[in-house]
Amino acid sequence: MKKVMTIVLAAAFALSATVVIAKSVKCVVDAVEGDKITMTCKKADKLEVGDKVKVKKAKKKALEGC
């Protein structure tokens, strides 16, 4: 029973790992005009016309002092 469960979990992990591979590029917003955003991105050649992208704001790091 443990062998069967191990095989099932390994197969599920392998399938999910191949499906959920996402491209990641870092961008800087240059302009915002209504609902259109112009960005300059590093490694933008990874993207193609028609790709759906998810944009999230970078977290600001807290400065700690003495």
What pLDDT score was predicted for residue 16?
61
Kindly report whether the global pTM for this prediction surpasses the value 0.85.
no
What pLDDT score was predicted for residue 23?
65
Residue 28: beta bridge partners?
Answer: 40
Separation between Cα atoms, residue 58 and residue 20, nearest integer Å: 22
What pLDDT score was predicted for residue 30?
92
What pLDDT score was predicted for residue 58?
78
What pLDDT score was predicted for residue 1?
77
Low-confidence residues of the chain, pLDDT below 50? Answer: 19-20
